[in-house]
Amino acid sequence: MVASEVFFDVEGLRLAAKRWGEPGGFPVMALHGWLDNAASFDFLAPLLVACDLVCPDLAGHGKSGHRGYLGAYNIWQDIAEIFHVADQLGWQRFALIGHSRGAMIAFLAAGTSPQRISHLALIEGGAPRTAAPEQAPEVLAESLRSVRSALARKRQYYPTFAEAVLARMQGMFPLGHQDAEVLAHQGVSETAQGFYWSYDPKLIAGSELRLSNQQVEAFRSRVTARTQVVLAEGGLTAQERTISDWLSASPHWSLQWLPGHHHLHMHTQCAQVASTINTHFKSRDDE
């Protein structure tokens, strides 16, 4: 199975996407993690059964456009954009797969418009990081500082494509060569100065506002989608016990722990993750 490349115009913002399967299949949108791109699902997508799977490069990532807004990439901004893409696809109701940051966006989207999301598959993520209301001024101030710092940084250029891949292999979340290479094919550009990762530098900045615990609970109380959570025993979520405990305690959500690391849905364990998601998507008796 080979993906097709599609593009969406979201109020002047051009979003690139990879589309797997056939129109008319079970509609699914897959949302990648922070500084990744649509190729994050290249290994998983061919293993998902009877799906019409659209994997967008979220704003600022991969081949998608960058937001002109002088500020951080707050996860709630993505929600309107993914619903706009769904509207263009003619999807009134669809499933969401999300990895890491994409899982946070998927969770909030399902709480925002529960009538539109039939299923959630959250991989290594779910609840966004929270802050107490009284922390809001400093959270905003730090976000503004980090935006300025990100814009002032010199872009890193690499003399060869292979060295850009190596840089991703050795990043904050280390990846194997095959995983880093597919991300590079979607996210590395070339100029006369060399090869570079084309994500918007403002993505490095922290959110301008963090939801409170009570606000996150309000979103969870509105989620009606069947929800499957997949966590890695050696992943990021396992290290943040507050988040993993929150996911474990979510009523009516199925939780599966698998061996592996933060990007367990990619090359080495895509078959295990796909098996879990395929089983989850079979439960469609109300569709």
How many C-beta atoms lie closer than 10 Å to residue 1's C-beta? Answer: 10
Cα 157 to Cα 196: distance, rounded to the nearest angstrom: 5
pLDDT on residue 286: 46
**Per-domain residue ranges of the chain:** 4-130+212-281
Q: Which residues of the chain have pLDDT under 70?
A: 284-287
Given a contact cutoff of 8 angstroms between Cβ atoms, the answer to whether 122 and 103 are in contact is yes
Residues 100, 118, 143, 244: which is the catalytic one?
A: 100
Active-site residue flag, 40: no
Provide the residue type at 40 as one letter.
S
Question: What is the CA angle 138-143-145, rounded to 5?
Answer: 95
Report the pLDDT value the prediction gives residue 246, as an integer from 0 to 100. Answer: 80
Q: Look up the CATH number of domain 4-130+212-281.
A: 3.40.50.1820
* DSSP, residue by residue, 31-71: E--TT--GGGGTTTGGGSTTEEEEEE--TTSTTSPPP-SSS
Give the per-residue pLDDT at 33: 97
Residues in the chain: 287
How, if at all, do strands 188-191 and 194-197 pair?
antiparallel
Please report the pLDDT score of residue 284 as a whole number: 67
Q: pTM of the predicted model, to two decimals?
A: 0.96
In the beta sheet, which residues pair with residue 31? 98
Give the integer Cα–Cα distance in Å for 232 and 237: 7
Q: What is the pLDDT of residues 210-258, one digit of tens each?
A: 999 999 999 999 999 999 999 999 988 878 777 777 877 777 899 999 9
pLDDT of residue 287: 46
What's the pLDDT score for residue 23? 83
Nearest to 123 by CA among 193, 53, 30: 30
Report DSSP state, residue 135.
G
Tokens of 187: 């996210």
CA dist., res. 267 & res. 215, Å (int): 36
